[in-house]
Structure 1
Amino acid sequence: MHAAQDVLLVEDDELIREATRLTLEERGYGVRTAADGLTGLALFRERHPDVAVLDIMLPGLNGVSLAGRIREESGVPVLLISARNDPVDVVMGLEAGADDYVTKPFDGPVLVARIRSLLRRAAPAEQPAESPRLRFGDLEFCPVSLTAHRGGKPLALTTTELKLLSEFAASPGNVLSRDLLLERVWDYAWSGDTRVVDVHVQRLRSKIGRERIETVRGFGYKLRP
Structure 2
Amino acid sequence: MDSQYILMVEDDPTVQMNNKKILERRGYILRQAFTLAEARKIIEQEQPCAIILDIKLPDGNGLDFLKDIRRTSNVPVLILTALDTPADVIRGLETGGDAYLPKPYNLNVFISHVEALLRRGSTLPEIIVYGPFKLDLTYVTAYLREQNMYLTPKEFSLLLHFIQHPDAVFSAKYLYKNAWGQPMEEDTSAVKNQIYNLRKKIKCSGYTITAVRGEGYIFELQ
Report the TM-score when normalising by structure 1: 0.52
Q: Which residue in the other structure is 1:82 paired with?
A: 81
Greater mean alpha carbon deviation, residues 98-107 or residues 83-92: 83-92
Q: How does 1:8-157 map to 2 (within 5 A)?
A: 8-124=7-123
Say which SS state the counterpart of residue 74 (structure 1) adopts. coil
Q: Which residue in the other structure is 1:202 paired with?
A: none
Amino acid at match of 1:36: T
Measured against aligned partners, the alpha-carbon deviations of 1:134-193 in whole angstroms (never above 9, x if no partner) come to xxxxxxxxxxx989xxxxxxxxx99xxxxxxxxxxxxxxxxxxxxxxxxxxxxxxxxxxx
Structure 1 residue 110, shift from structure 2 partner: 1.1
Amino acid at match of 1:118: L
Q: Distance in 2 between matches of 1:70 and 1:21?
A: 23
Amino acid at match of 1:57: K
Q: Is the 8 A contact 1:34 1:40 kept in 2?
A: yes
Return closer, same or farther for 1:58/1:28 CA change in 2, 3 Å cut-off.
same
Q: Distance in 1 between matches of 2:43 and 2:105?
A: 24
Q: Distance in 1 between matches of 2:63 and 2:56?
A: 8
Greater mean alpha carbon deviation, residues 70-79 or residues 40-49: 40-49
Q: Which segments of 5 or more consecutive residues in structure 1 lack a partner in the other structure? A: 126-144, 148-156, 159-225
Q: Distance in 1 between matches of 2:87 and 2:37?
A: 23
Measured against aligned partners, the alpha-carbon deviations of 1:70-126 in whole angstroms (never above 9, x if no partner) come to 11121100110121302332222212111111111112211111111111111137x
Amino acid at match of 2:110: L
Q: Which segments of 5 or more consecutive residues in structure 2 lack a partner in the other structure? A: 128-136, 139-222
Q: Is the 8 A contact 1:7 1:49 kept in 2?
A: yes
Greater mean alpha carbon deviation, residues 7-16 or residues 103-112: 103-112
RMSD: 2.3
Amino acid at match of 1:90: V
Q: Distance in 1 between matches of 2:67 and 2:37?
A: 13
- Percent identical across equivalent pairs? 36
Amino acid at match of 2:28: Y
Q: Is the 8 A contact 1:9 1:52 kept in 2?
A: yes
Report the TM-score when normalising by structure 2: 0.53
Task: Find the structure with the greater CA-based Rg.
Answer: 2
Return closer, same or farther for 1:86/1:37 CA change in 2, 3 Å cut-off.
farther
Q: Distance in 2 between matches of 1:90 and 1:39?
A: 25
